[in-house]
Structure 1
């Protein structure tokens, strides 16, 4: 697995990593893909990036460590979370799932009311599982995908790896790096104020929804950043995921569909150090917050843009989620579809985003500048596929010693401890998940 870590670190920095240690075996997760190796490498990369930030504070970080069992637990944190001893309810809505079509399979994502409505509108059926199954069974998978996507919904035909490689979007993803980190404009070198934590004093504005973006913000918070998640009161939420990914963050509501809300966002950005956003590509540009506008508004900002299918190609603006990307790119290829054992594209992209953000902050300390990181679920999937295969068998795994308890707005949480060892400043969350929107849309002094 050392070669996987070294490859990721080289993709981020163009250099070789400092000393690190890996423990554990890859049989902690089932299936043929090397998900545990990807998880461990993602955790190691983020922790190595935190170590570099610690060195900039003249603090010796010690030897970074990452364990496969802990990394695998972090990649299924939403499943392992307990609230007052009770496990989370299913994150899937009744109509979400895989459906057999006339010539294969299609997956429909209906976790949000607007996506469920798009499925029903696109297929011309009422909102019942039976009606959707009947409508889908008589149509080709690609036709169903097109009908739902054209109606503003989220769907994906099950494609083989070969079909995806020949698809224009598959070709576009293959041409892109795992992580794109580019300068957007000039800015003075960053000055770090005193802190004994890697990201102490760093303000992170998080405009994200499930799941990769919130994971990235949670990691940055664990390394000491002041993370403010921005949502909206009228938008639906998957509460089980909010409870899991809200660790260590403040939460506020800003109505970006109003002039006053956009003015408030401008004020927040003008004092932020990092913006992590997973809006559908083009959505922020349409309301005046494109990369050029952001660089002008806040020179020295680090912008992390997350997307489903990459930032080039015919699907660059397509809605997508982990489960859909797995169908599109062939990772779930089988009859019936065989998804990955965890939402590895979401979690992996989240950890790699955190690593990219910290790498950009490090470059600012050394060289200055405004920086933009771009990552995608499809890009992470391509990287995972490139790691090869393993024995699909898995060992019985106990996660008990990897869990900790913390108070939250929802009750007493039992959660996965932050993964990745950093002896000079071990990561932790200062508080548990807060209620969505409970904080004022301002930065703390």
Structure 2
């Protein structure tokens, strides 16, 4: 069974629709022992087919979808290929982020791209705020003890584990009991046409669909960006006090308007409640229970807006002892054995990540896929719906696909190698060179109607 077929069957979608998709290309497209191209092409084809099914539900018109492995892998590296005014985008990586060897010969990865995470790491280590001091301080710790200390402090780190070590942990065992994704009915509501119905034929699959995007970095923002490329009205909501990573704001802001609301303040809370009442989809990637503590969990949203489709993106899943642990794509790769496996295949002891943020991108596309399946389901049978995905569950799926003996021998495509899969657009940040949507759709070609804008450029209203 192909990845697309796995996803389509797991979502209980009509198998006859699979005949509308043509898939080309195979692994390896990138230097990795993992089947990154199969993952990328599978999730991109699935969300494209879900969009096509939304359009079919609204108009009765089917269409042909072409999904190509090479283009899918280009899309999975969208932030790497971003250029602003023909120059490189700002570097998102903090100098302290990276791999470090511990006293007992283990390796640990730190993620310090947000300043407060870096400050917290330095505080736990009791050292100066620079790479050399951090390196020296970590040599005084055993790996597992440091991993535990940083995790307990709510900071972002991961001990490099083998797949077997990961599988023995309670968190991995909790994930093994869960499906790759969930689309759960969480409340009753009348059947609601996608985009509100009306007498005119929609031009795009998600025309008229309103999406609140409460996410940062890559996975959640990719979900919102994907819904936008199919015509949704996506409003990004950030806290004015929360940090962002400049190139990711640009890359993942395509197709979105951007506003700020402070949910710690009564007026910000009230404004989001008002927006929610007219929303169709709510995407969020804060740690589990974070938004629920402010009254915006999935059940809260379903009470405030019966018929809402609520998509939750997390790092380590919603069950298990790490469910509230902070995490990013590269940390999940490190914790779960992916970085260990890549290193062993390369004949090196230093850990080695995938050649793209594959867990982030795949999880973002999966969230968008689930949201569109739920919109279609809501149109037929009503209900409020909760879509759940996580980086760790996506990583587990990638690992289940097996490895390629010679995968790391594949070429690493440069910007010039992929220009046919790029586009240019003018934006407030300058002239952008960025990726195109990977899939091709014969009737509703995906595209972004808006350029990315700086955080808070728009009012918090529909």
Which of the five TM-score ranges fits, normalised by the shorter chain? Answer: over 0.9
Matches within 5 A, 1:98-177: 98-103=99-104, 104-177=106-179
In the TM superposition, structure 1's runs of 4+ consecutive aligned residues that sit over 6 Å from their partners are: none
State the secondary structure of the residue aligned to 2:310. strand
Matches within 5 A, 1:280-359: 280-333=287-340, 334=343, 335-359=349-373
The equivalent position to 1:226 in structure 2, one of 233, 242, 267, is: 233
- Tell me the distance in 1 between the aligned counterparts of 2:315 and 2:381: 31
Q: Is 1:379 matched with 2:385?
A: no
Does the CA contact (< 8 Å) of 2:59 and 2:202 recur in 1? Answer: no
Quote the RMSD (CA, aligned, Å): 1.2
Does the CA contact (< 8 Å) of 1:12 and 1:359 recur in 2? Answer: yes
Aligned length: 442
Q: CA deviation at 1:27?
A: 2.4
**Matched residue, 1:423:** 442
TM-score (normalised: structure 2): 0.94
- Tell me the distance in 2 between the aligned counterparts of 1:61 and 1:252: 35
**Matched residue, 2:377:** 363
Q: CA deviation at 1:259?
A: 1.2
The equivalent position to 1:433 in structure 2, one of 452, 456, 460, is: 452
- Tell me the distance in 1 between the aligned counterparts of 2:112 and 2:6: 36
**Matched residue, 2:424:** 405
- Tell me the distance in 2 between the aligned counterparts of 1:289 and 1:400: 41
Q: CA deviation at 1:311?
A: 0.6
TM-score (normalised: structure 1): 0.97
State the secondary structure of the residue aligned to 2:217. coil
- Tell me the distance in 1 between the aligned counterparts of 2:363 and 2:28: 22
- Tell me the distance in 2 between the aligned counterparts of 1:440 and 1:240: 22
Q: CA deviation at 1:137?
A: 1.3
**Matched residue, 1:27:** 28
Matches within 5 A, 1:33-52: 33-52=34-53
Unaligned runs of 5+ in 1: none
**Matched residue, 2:346:** none
Does the CA contact (< 8 Å) of 2:28 and 2:35 recur in 1? Answer: no
- Tell me the distance in 2 between the aligned counterparts of 1:169 and 1:66: 34
**Matched residue, 1:389:** 403
Does the CA contact (< 8 Å) of 2:30 and 2:412 recur in 1? Answer: no
